[in-house]
Amino acid sequence: MGQDFFSIKYFDKQFIYIDQTQLPLIEEYYTTDNYEQIAVAIEKLCIRGAPAIGISAAYAIALAFKNHNLLDNEYFENVSNRLASTRPTAVNLFWAIEQMKKVYYSLSKNDNVFDNLVNTAISIHNDDITKCNLIAKNGLPIFSNKCTVLTHCNTGKLATGGEGTALAVIKEAYKRNLVELVYVDETRPLLQGGRLTTYELKKEDIPFYMITDSMAAFVMKQKKVDLVIVGADRIAVNGDAANKVGSYNLAVICKYHNIPFYIAAPETTIDKNCKSENDIPIEERNKFEMNRIQNIKFTKSIYSVYNPSFDLIPHNLITGIITDKGLFNEPYNFNV
């Protein structure tokens, strides 16, 4: 069951990633040791998903010192700031950069800078693999009977360093005969559900239907959905969460139809500096993502566009938050 693939990998002092913008039609991997190429890949969504972005940034910082293997604070800060500028919403990015900073500024002139940084990046990657496995296990209690699940965007291998977050829960539940079918929102405007989640589910031989985002409410009204699981790019200490735009819609219609709405994310997605959704920055992206698909125009480029990449889900609409530390329910207080 399942066909092996990966989204990111470190091998022989090189970083390898699949270009997610071309999936599922073209599977193309790129190999680089250039931190700028990795930064651009993150910006262009060739690499995406909050945990994967953080891991990739860590490897990028390390590889910046592959041929510059000495302590150079100005250079380190320039590299770190470049990676930090790629995506503003996913807190995992900033968490990973901070881990790299702690290690770098603990080094002395006799230490091998590159080796220490790359070992830290590998550790961050391995830690995410462990976290994904724990999330999958901790999410099993939400299934009382064999269920039909709806998910949004992509939260599997392509978004993380391991098996995924929300999709890892779905995959683990399917293995245990707890999931019968998955409805996949296409996830406009960049179709991460229609292109990427379907790609992963097909690889795993898990049955699914792809639907447009606007069909979700009607599918719920027809009683075809038992629960919804999505990921998150940042979670406030009170349980408010930011996720791919369209997630708030799902939470609202789940509340109306009395359907459980869950979020799955590693603990590193919880931002202790964010008290509520009011503290979470929302990335706005280029209008060309809205007026074309795969560079094919379907409307006029001169039209004005509002393109927030994420929306905000109030904690009172979230049935439970699944992390590597366990399954949490209201009232959420991640400050303790």
* Tens digit of each residue's pLDDT (9 = 90 or more) over 187-218: 999 999 999 999 999 999 999 999 999 999 99
Query: pLDDT tens digit string along 149-171?
Result: 999 999 999 999 999 999 999 99
Closest CA relative to residue 318, chosen from 230, 212, 246: 230
Q: Which of 25, 53, 327 is nearest to 194 (CA)?
A: 25
The residues that bridge with 284 in the sheet, in sequence order, are 308
Judged against a pLDDT cut of 50, whether residue 1 lies above it is answered with no
Q: What is the sign, positive or negative, of the torsion defined by CA atoms of 284, 286, 292, 295? A: negative
Residue 198 near residue 152, CB atoms below 8 Å? no
Catalytic-residue membership of 213 = no
Q: Is the pLDDT at 280 greater than 90, yes or no?
A: yes
Rounded to a whole number of angstroms, the CA Rg of the chain reads 20
Greatest CA span in the chain, whole angstroms? Answer: 66
Q: Which of 185, 233, 311, 324 is catalytic?
A: 233
What does the DSSP 8-state code read for residue 242?
Answer: E
Residue 155 phi/psi, 5-degree rounding, is: -135, 30
Burial class of 249 by CB neighbour count within 10 A (0 to 12, 13 to 18, 19+): middle
Structure tokens at 288: 């060309």
- Tell me the mean pLDDT in the region 282-301: 88
Task: Calculate ∠ Cα 141-146-152, nearest 5°.
Answer: 75
pLDDT of residue 187: 97
**Mean pLDDT, the chain, as a whole number?**
95
Share of the chain above pLDDT 70, in %: 99
* pLDDT tens digits for range 40-63: 999 999 999 999 999 999 999 999
Q: Report the distance separating Cα 181 and Cα 203, nearest Å.
A: 15
Structure-block tokens of residue 105: 């500024």
